């Protein structure tokens, strides 16, 4: 997002003066310059954050306590290493970290890090001893996997018992998986060798041991920079959850591996702790087409075709990406833990060339109730300032609307589902395509009055009916556009109960811009602004509430900005001066009719029940470690899941087609034709699109747009 970054001349002068003195000392230091580099990083980050972050935050005892907790949790999220005695030893610094940071004193970090590295060494003997012999699966005991609510072990003996339970659970999952696969094989083939529980148990234990060995080989490969990044992120995260520090290797690999034209599965990945998470799917990519991998899933293992799977837990993100990427036409099998219910699943994906073309605006045409409608999919509010004749979403949207107008569509459905935002500039310009002119959004820097960003072009590209489809993943610039359309009463907003609620702006800044230090210090992504609607309310936390809320799988889940610890609060500013369009004769009636349809529709009722079931599973964080009880619980879950097997099976029998200009392109570009065919097929099976089209077909425009002053 194109934003300006404010930092005072005084701050730069102070920074450069301090860095100069540190660099002089560093030159005389030993060849290991990391301690000086660490101090430079702490100093620069501290000063940038306290002077220029959107939030004024004192580095006091509360701040110190936050860093204390976050750093320890960042190193030991599953309570595998530290005991209460360790925490007691660390606690002498609990309220002193703020003072240490003001002196560039890293005593707290050094104490915890040194203790942690020793604990890592002990862990190898723990799991090695525990996996030598079978577990007692007849013993009635449970394990709690919501580790935030699990206390640290009292002593080393209790810590070892934590390890025993976690390893036992891992073994149980593998035994259960092997047992289920054997049942499937028996049904398919009669003449197979049936293995006993004892055989499965031994195989599962050896697999867990192998995975643990591989994990700790990779953990030992991690460098000081990796662990220090965890500490720095506990500091910068105290300001807000979207402010993060990126070490040089993370920034470099992100830029190198996760942008441009790729051969792979078409997913952006993110490292969280020891796990590789799916951050988002690239629209039109192999994973997107395959349909099973979702944002938030955790990739545990990677297999090349029919070869043995490789455990990537604990692996560096760059290394994990190397295994997941591959040549077009090759198969990769991902063993994932699903975000929604925690279930394990193997997903087969055929790699392909992933082109960013599929993140651009695209449209389709459909006829319903004797009317022709245009559907515009906008995956991102994109822009590229690096090219002289850059392509951006506003220009593409304007062009796409013009093409649809020539084909006689009477209404537009704009799909912003899963659109995480992007360029503020294009969000304003796209909003301006649907109104005469006027304010679109208010942007506020710390300590300043809000700036009203306006559409100044009096041209209206589309004056017909508009419906905007959103979900819980619609965020940032998507929320600006949806909020503007709602405040002007220019469109009906339909979808999840509310959008994501990210009303903040971040700027990514290379830290080396503040110093002459010759080593790469990485970058900071820092929150510098906050968005406000033209009605005065922030989109932070609240997002945009849909005019018509439809149940989704996320309806009861903890999801969105409101569920993130430390998220900035909702507030409001003065309302901007704007005039509602008053575009529709029957706005309220259409909303009422749709709300009634949704409430009585059997499919949406089932989705609502499914969402409740997913929430229940999310809240159930305890497992029995007794094999018989574990199997019964698993069977019960499968039985419950069976009634939701067809929850999203639906067909509208509507025929979606490409606009005329694309039809001629298909003759030369069969890949594009296949992509559009897959998209149109998905649209015809999308019950949310169908209901949005119902709304669009009912909307009646006023013959002459009356104006209503706020």
The string of pLDDT tens digits covering residues 211-250 is: 898 888 778 777 888 899 999 999 999 999 999 998 886 6
Evaluate if residue 277 carries a pLDDT over 70.
Answer: yes
Does residue 547 belong to any structural domain of this protein? yes
Q: Is the dihedral of CA 675, 677, 680, 685 positive or negative?
A: negative
Evaluate if residue 93 carries a pLDDT over 90.
Answer: yes
The two three-digit tokens of residue 106, written as one number:
């890293």
* C-alpha–C-alpha distance, residues 536 and 601, integer Å: 36
Q: What is the DSSP letter of 645?
A: T
Does residue 19 belong to any structural domain of this protein? no
Contacting residues for 85 by C-beta, under 8 A, at least 6 apart? 155
Asked if 277 and 177 sit in the same domain, the reply is no
Asked if 324 and 371 sit in the same domain, the reply is no
Asked if 340 and 457 sit in the same domain, the reply is no
Does residue 21 belong to any structural domain of this protein? no
The two three-digit tokens of residue 675, written as one number:
């992509």
- In this structure, what CATH number is given to the domain that contains residue 343? 2.30.42.10
386: confidence class by pLDDT, cuts 50, 70, 90: low
Mean pLDDT of 579-603: 96
Asked if 225 and 288 sit in the same domain, the reply is no
328, 354, 380 — which closes off a domain?
354
From residue 230, alpha-carbon distances to 72, 240, 260, 644 in Å are 9, 15, 28, 40
User: How many domains, the chain?
Assistant: 3
Asked if 226 and 295 sit in the same domain, the reply is no
Evaluate if residue 99 carries a pLDDT over 60.
Answer: yes
Does residue 546 belong to any structural domain of this protein? yes
Q: What is the pLDDT of residue 14?
A: 35
Q: What is the pLDDT of residue 131?
A: 96
Asked if 338 and 366 sit in the same domain, the reply is no
Does residue 144 belong to any structural domain of this protein? yes
Q: What is the pLDDT of residue 710?
A: 46
pLDDT in tens, 341-380: 888 899 999 998 775 566 789 999 999 989 999 999 999 8
First-last CA distance in the chain: 31
Does residue 40 belong to any structural domain of this protein? no
Evaluate if residue 3 carries a pLDDT over 70.
Answer: no
CA angle 285, 376, 707 (to 5 degrees): 150
pTM of the predicted model, to two decimals? Answer: 0.78
Asked if 602 and 667 sit in the same domain, the reply is yes
Asked if 348 and 369 sit in the same domain, the reply is no
- In this structure, what CATH number is given to the domain that contains residue 478? 3.90.226.10
Beta bridge partners of 654: none
Asked if 111 and 130 sit in the same domain, the reply is yes
Asked if 80 and 143 sit in the same domain, the reply is yes
Contacting residues for 480 by C-beta, under 8 A, at least 6 apart? 424, 427, 428, 431, 440, 441, 531, 539
pLDDT in tens, 29-53: 333 347 889 999 999 999 999 999 9
pLDDT in tens, 603-618: 999 999 999 999 998 8
124: confidence class by pLDDT, cuts 50, 70, 90: confident
Burial 293-327 (b: 16+ CB within 10 A, else e): bbbebbbbbbbeeeeebebbbbbbbbebbebbbbe
164: confidence class by pLDDT, cuts 50, 70, 90: very high
Q: What is the pLDDT of residue 390?
A: 67
Does residue 383 belong to any structural domain of this protein? yes
Asked if 665 and 564 sit in the same domain, the reply is yes
354, 378, 396 — which closes off a domain?
354
339: confidence class by pLDDT, cuts 50, 70, 90: confident
326, 354, 382 — which closes off a domain?
354
Asked if 365 and 348 sit in the same domain, the reply is no
Evaluate if residue 657 carries a pLDDT over 90.
Answer: yes
Q: Residue 227 belongs to what domain range?
A: 58-236
pLDDT in tens, 489-509: 999 999 999 999 999 988 888
Does residue 528 belong to any structural domain of this protein? no
């Amino acid at each position: 997002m194109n934003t300006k970054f404010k930092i005072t001349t005084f701050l730069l002068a102070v920074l450069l003066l301090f860095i100069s003195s540190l660099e002089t000392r560093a030159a005389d230091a030993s060849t290991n310059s990391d301690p000086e580099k660490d101090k430079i990083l702490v100093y620069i980050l501290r000063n940038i954050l306290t002077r220029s972050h959107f939030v004024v935050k004192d580095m006091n005892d509360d701040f110190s306590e936050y860093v204390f907790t976050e750093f320890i949790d960042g190193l030991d999220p599953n309570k595998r290493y530290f005991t209460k005695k360790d925490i007691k030893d660390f606690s002498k610094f609990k309220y002193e970290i703020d003072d240490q940071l003001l002196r560039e004193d890293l005593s707290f970090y050094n104490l915890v890090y040194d203790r942690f590295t020793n604990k890592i060494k002990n862990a190898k003997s723990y799991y090695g001893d525990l996996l030598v012999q079978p577990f007692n699966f007849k013993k009635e005991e449970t394990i709690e996997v919501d580790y935030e609510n699990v206390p640290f072990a009292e002593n080393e003996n209790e810590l070892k018992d934590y390890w025993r339970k976690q390893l036992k659970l891992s073994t149980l999952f593998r035994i259960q998986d092997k047992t289920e696969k054997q049942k499937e094989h028996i049904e398919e083939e009669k003449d197979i060798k049936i293995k006993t529980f004892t055989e499965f148990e031994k195989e599962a234990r050896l697999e867990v041991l192998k995975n643990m060995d591989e994990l700790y080989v990779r953990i030992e490969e991690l460098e000081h920079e990796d662990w220090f990044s965890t500490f720095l992120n506990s500091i910068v995260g105290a300001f807000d959850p979207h402010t993060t520090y990126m070490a040089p290797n993370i920034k470099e690999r992100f830029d190198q591996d996760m942008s441009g034209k790729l051969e792979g599965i078409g997913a952006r990945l993110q490292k969280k702790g020891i796990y590789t998470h799916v951050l988002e799917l690239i629209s039109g990519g192999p994973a997107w087409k395959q349909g099973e991998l979702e944002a938030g899933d955790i990739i545990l293992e990677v297999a090349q075709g029919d070869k043995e799977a490789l455990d990537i837990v604990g692996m560096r993100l760059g290394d994990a990406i190397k295994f997941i990427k591959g040549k077009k036409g090759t198969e990769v099998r991902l063993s994932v833990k699903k975000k929604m219910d925690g279930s394990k699943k193997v997903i087969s994906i055929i790699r392909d060339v992933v082109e960013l073309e599929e993140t651009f605006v695209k449209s389709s045409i459909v006829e319903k109730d004797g009317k022709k409608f245009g559907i515009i999919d906008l995956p991102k509010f994109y822009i590229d300032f690096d090219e002289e004749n850059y392509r951006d979403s506003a220009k593409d949207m304007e062009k796409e609307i013009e093409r649809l107008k020539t084909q006689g569509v009477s209404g537009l459905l704009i799909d912003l589902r899963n659109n995480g935002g992007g360029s503020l500039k294009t969000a304003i310009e796209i909003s301006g395509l649907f109104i005469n002119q006027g304010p679109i959004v208010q942007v506020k820097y710390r300590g300043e009055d809000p700036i009203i960003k306006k559409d100044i072009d009096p041209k209206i590209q589309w004056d017909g009916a508009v419906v905007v489809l959103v979900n819980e993943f619609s965020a940032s610039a998507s929320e600006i556009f949806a909020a503007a359309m709602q405040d002007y009463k220019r469109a009906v907003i339909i979808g999840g109960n509310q959008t994501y609620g990210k009303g903040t702006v971040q700027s990514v800044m290379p830290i080396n811009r503040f110093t002459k230090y010759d080593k790469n210090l990485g970058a900071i992504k820092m929150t510098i602004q906050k968005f406000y609607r033209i009605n005065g309310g922030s989109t932070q936390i609240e997002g945009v509430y849909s005019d018509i809320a439809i149940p989704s799988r996320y309806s009861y889940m903890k999801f969105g900005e409101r569920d993130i610890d430390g998220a900035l609060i909702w507030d409001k500013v003065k309302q901007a001066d704007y005039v509602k369009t008053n575009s529709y004769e029957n706005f309220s009636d259409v909303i009422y009719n749709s709300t009634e349809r949704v409430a009585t529709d059997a499919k949406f009722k089932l989705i609502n029940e499914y969402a409740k079931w997913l929430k229940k599973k999310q809240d159930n964080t305890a497992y029995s470690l007794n094999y018989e009880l574990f199997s019964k619980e698993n069977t019960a879950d499968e039985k419950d899941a069976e009634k939701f097997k067809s929850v999203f099976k639906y067909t509208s029998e509507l025929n979606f087609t490409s606009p005329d200009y694309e039809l001629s392109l298909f003759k030369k570009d069969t890949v594009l034709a296949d992509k559009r065919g897959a998209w149109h097929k998905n649209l015809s099976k999308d019950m949310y699109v169908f209901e949005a089209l119902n709304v669009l077909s009912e909307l009646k425009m006023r013959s002459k747009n009356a104006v209503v002053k706020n």
